[in-house]
């Protein structure tokens, strides 16, 4: 899920949230456990500034946060 919003004529900001509910289904030893290496969620955001005096020029920044990621399957 995500969205963007235009703030005035020069700014655009937005963000995304992805909830990942991954579990093993066919491996008998890990059946029902969270998948190793898959984070539980990812959050991202961005901001863009459109330079008014230089047509076509924009400056932006992005940030992303990834939730905990286990190396081994984790029991839930």
Residue 58: inside a domain, yes or no?
A: yes
Containing structural domain, residue 45? 2-66
Residue 51: inside a domain, yes or no?
A: yes
Picking from 57, 61, 71, 67, the residue whose alpha carbon sits closest to that of residue 21 is 67
Q: How many domains does the chain have?
A: 1
Residue 44: inside a domain, yes or no?
A: yes
Give me the pLDDT at residue 22, please.
Answer: 77
Residue 50: inside a domain, yes or no?
A: yes
pTM to 2 decimals?
Answer: 0.68
Between CA 54 and CA 67 the distance in angstroms is 38
Give me the pLDDT at residue 35, please.
Answer: 74
Q: Name the pLDDT band for 67 (thresholds 50, 70, 90).
A: confident
Residue 74: inside a domain, yes or no?
A: no
Count of alpha carbons within 13 angstroms of residue 28, beta-carbon side: 0
Residue 71: inside a domain, yes or no?
A: no
What's the pLDDT tens digit per position in 20-58? 877 777 766 766 677 777 788 899 999 999 999 999 999
Q: Is pLDDT of 76 > 60?
A: no
Q: Is pLDDT of 5 > 90?
A: yes
Residue 73: inside a domain, yes or no?
A: no
């Amino acid at each position: 899920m995500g969205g963007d919003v235009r703030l005035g004529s020069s700014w655009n900001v937005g963000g995304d949230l992805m909830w990942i509910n991954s579990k093993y289904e066919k491996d008998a030893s890990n059946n029902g456990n969270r998948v190793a290496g898959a984070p539980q969620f990812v959050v991202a955001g961005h901001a863009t500034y459109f330079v008014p005096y230089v047509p076509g020029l924009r400056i932006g920044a992005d940030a992303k946060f990834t939730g905990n990621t286990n190396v081994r399957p984790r029991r839930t």
